[in-house]
Amino acid sequence: MGQNATLEGDSAVIVSLSEAAMHMYSAAIDALPFPEDKKFHKRADVVLSGLRKLRASLAEAASSNRPSPAVIVALSGVRQRYDSLMAHAASAPGSSLGQQIYVTRIHAKLSAQEVANGAGLRDGLLDELEAGATPTDAEATKIRDTIAALGGLPGDDHGIHAVPSSADYGSSDEPQANGWEPVLVSENAG
């Protein structure tokens, strides 16, 4: 019984630390400048980097021998917020191919490994690009071709643009995929 109580205590600490970190990340996300601002990507990249570290730590905790629904709930929340911010960054001017392929593959329900295999890219490349690495010209061509083959960046075709939904701010009962919902924008909108 003592072992079980220790495991539950460890999980509670992990979840508490995760909640504190997410509080700070949420404040940083809310304080991001408009996507057209030159500082947007630099600031978003800092938050995304921190969210990747938190996501990795929670994924490790969730894969351990300590059963805890609270840890997987925290992991799910971090992944959802990460996906939402990546979608926002990918739709912003000056987005990276790493952000674009991430959002495209998540929308297509494909893993990084599946996309890399299908596109003829080396293992680990997509994770490196997601973290800010720059692809070679040959890799960039394959990535652009893959994005096109998967239907392009979600919300970027035929007058449909990605805009923040209420799910992005945590107030919706039914979040949309990646925290974004498509909105049809008239061709004549001024």
Largest CA distance in the chain: 68
pLDDT at position 101: 97
Burial of 23 by CB count in 10 Å (0-12 exposed, 13-18 middle, 19+ buried)? exposed
The answer to whether residue 81 is domain-embedded is: yes
Which residues span the domain enclosing 58? Answer: 1-95
pTM exceeds 0.85? no
Residue range 118-136, pLDDT digits in tens:
999 999 999 999 999 999 9
Residue range 5-17, pLDDT digits in tens:
455 667 889 999 9
The answer to whether residue 71 is domain-embedded is: yes
pLDDT at position 68: 82
Expressed in angstroms, the distance from the first to the final Cα of the chain is 66
178: left (phi over 0), alpha (psi -120 to 50) or beta: left
Residue range 40-71, pLDDT digits in tens:
999 999 999 999 999 999 999 998 877 689 99
The answer to whether residue 63 is domain-embedded is: yes
The answer to whether residue 38 is domain-embedded is: yes
Number of domains observed in the structure of the chain: 1
The answer to whether residue 84 is domain-embedded is: yes
Quote the percentage of the chain above a pLDDT of 90: 68
The answer to whether residue 124 is domain-embedded is: no
The answer to whether residue 125 is domain-embedded is: no
